[in-house]
Structure 1
């Protein structure tokens, strides 16, 4: 299968590192013009340099804005008024016991992880529908199906993304615009790596040992028995953005290493 996205404009939120950066690189390699976004210009510039080094001749635009806010979303829309592909990857996570999560954290997780995608999808989907082609994705998580006790607020936001994704797909029925969610499992992203690295330093063990212990203790149903790579997750996102995925919409596509114990 050859995926060709030449001529397509793709916006990837939260794409200066981790899964978002890997998706941006994958889309660029397929020929798309990719808009890389992050909160600071320095991080955006670094990501642009990384993708250009990895994908010769890539066509890229960088934008520094906090897309977890209304002002940030408005800035992106004003700069990039139309897109063919929207990857709502922006997200935050934080392990915290349920009884220690204040109202402010619940609201912050909902605004960053859910409303950021709602705002951008509400704008870009209308243009996609008028043109008769588009791809929207929400990067959710297996935690949206199996709520982790150690971060219920995060799981809540990921479940909400699944509801928004399916509802938007229903709203766009017959337009040529597909909307899907992807559900990564534990993935060795920058944020996760930093988190495990801190634990490893505190415990005086290797990060690899911390990762193995996490899978064994917290995600024992994993069938691959390891963290996924960001590239493994990005491969699914690039496929769903392609012409070849035109019959896949309204779906929650798992790339979770088999963590979710379900045949559906």
Structure 2
């Protein structure tokens, strides 16, 4: 089985690090030209260089901008008017008690995690439909199904992404354009590594050991009993982006190690 995306252009939002960077790298290795996005020029340039190193035959470009803002999105559309594979990965997370959360924090979470994907999908999907081929992938989370009590605003926005993706899949019915969600669980991304490194300073525990201990203590239903790697999540994204996934649409595809205790 070969995942061939030669001749396709992929845009991955929030892709200068973590799952986004791993997804962009996987797509580039499959032959897709990719657009990397982040808010800082330095991190975007570093990510572009890293992908060019492992996939020298594809075109890799960077776009610096906060795509939760309409102005930045309009600049993206003007710079990169065409897209075959759109990965809506841009997102933020935080731990905070619901009763201490503010309207501004809720609005920020909705703007970054939900509205950005609405705006960008609304722009690129019509052309995909006109070409009778396209892939739109929302990076949701198992927290969209298992709403964490200490991350309610995060979980709520991830549930919204699932509804959005399902609705868009129906809107694109019969066109050759598929829309799916990928649901990672606890994943050893750059942000998680940085957080764990701070918590284990002065101990002899490794980042992997601490991360896996967190999963066992806080996500006891996990079947793999460990964190996933960003590459494991990216493998699913690459498959869903490929022509081989043509019969998969409107789906919520879990890469969360079995945390969600459901056979459905």
TM-score clears 0.5: yes
Q: Secondary structure at the match of 1:10?
A: strand
Partner of 1:150: 150
Equivalent residues in 2 for 1:21-32, closer than 5 Å? 21-32=21-32
- Shift in CA distance, 247/111, structure 1 to aligned 2, threshold 3 Å: same
Q: CA deviation at 1:117?
A: 0.5
Cα deviation code 1:120-153 (max 9, x no counterpart): 0000001000111000000000000000111110
| 1:215 and 2:211 matched | no
| Aligned counterparts of 1:213 and 1:6: Cα–Cα separation in 2 | 41
RMSD over aligned CA atoms reads 1.2
Partner of 1:6: 6
CA contact (8 A) 2:137 2:182 kept: yes
Q: CA deviation at 1:68?
A: 1.2
| Aligned counterparts of 2:203 and 2:98: Cα–Cα separation in 1 | 24
| Aligned counterparts of 1:216 and 1:243: Cα–Cα separation in 2 | 36
Report runs of 4+ in structure 1 exceeding 6 Å deviation: none
Q: CA deviation at 1:202?
A: 7.8
- Shift in CA distance, 238/202, structure 1 to aligned 2, threshold 3 Å: same
| 1:43 and 2:37 matched | no
| Aligned counterparts of 1:202 and 1:136: Cα–Cα separation in 2 | 44
| 1:55 and 2:55 matched | yes
| Aligned counterparts of 2:208 and 2:4: Cα–Cα separation in 1 | 36
Q: CA deviation at 1:56?
A: 2.8
Q: Which moved more, 1:180-189 or 1:91-100?
A: 91-100
| 1:230 and 2:230 matched | yes
| 1:90 and 2:90 matched | yes
Q: Secondary structure at the match of 2:200?
A: helix
| Aligned counterparts of 1:241 and 1:168: Cα–Cα separation in 2 | 16
| Long gaps (5+) in structure 2 | none
Cα deviation code 1:43-77 (max 9, x no counterpart): 11000011112223231111101111111111111
Partner of 1:192: 192
Q: Which moved more, 1:92-101 or 1:251-260?
A: 92-101
Partner of 1:34: 34
Normalising by structure 1, report the TM-score.
0.97
Q: Secondary structure at the match of 1:180?
A: strand
Partner of 2:70: 70
Cα deviation code 1:8-66 (max 9, x no counterpart): 01100011001000110011011111011111111110000111122232311111011
